[in-house]
């Protein structure tokens, strides 16, 4: 599944730790990904999925994993589904 993602969803998940604590998931995601020159178009979607599925604690924990592939593999099926849904 990681090949299908090309790792952007896992990168989005890790992009949000610093500001996520303030509840600004999408803003943190956009700022981090744009600073890396990456596509941030899925950030609002990911924020909506995190909030709708009560995944905030899991995504905060996942953001501490530095390697995007390991981060994705460590995510629950529900968190992976959120990442998959929001990756373009």
- The pLDDT value recorded for residue 67 is 85
Q: Is the pLDDT of residue 37 over 90?
A: no
Average pLDDT over residues 69-84: 93
Exposure letters 48-85 (e unless 16+ CB within 10 A, then b): ebbeeeebbebbbebbebeebeebbebbeeebbebbee
Band the pLDDT of 23: cuts 50, 70, 90. low
- The pLDDT value recorded for residue 73 is 94
For residue 23, CA distances in Å to 17, 31, 71, 84 come to 10, 14, 21, 21
Average pLDDT over residues 46-58: 90
pLDDT in tens, 7-20: 566 666 666 555 45
């Amino acid at each position: 599944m990681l090949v299908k993602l090309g790792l952007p969803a896992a990168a989005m998940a890790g992009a949000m730790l610093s500001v996520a604590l303030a509840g600004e998931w999408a803003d943190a995601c956009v700022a981090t990904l744009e600073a890396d020159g990456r596509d941030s178009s899925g950030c609002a979607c990911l924020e909506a999925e995190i909030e709708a599925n009560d995944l905030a604690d899991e995504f905060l924990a996942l953001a501490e994993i530095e390697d995007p592939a390991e981060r994705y593999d460590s995510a629950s099926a529900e968190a992976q589904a959120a990442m998959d849904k929001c990756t373009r």
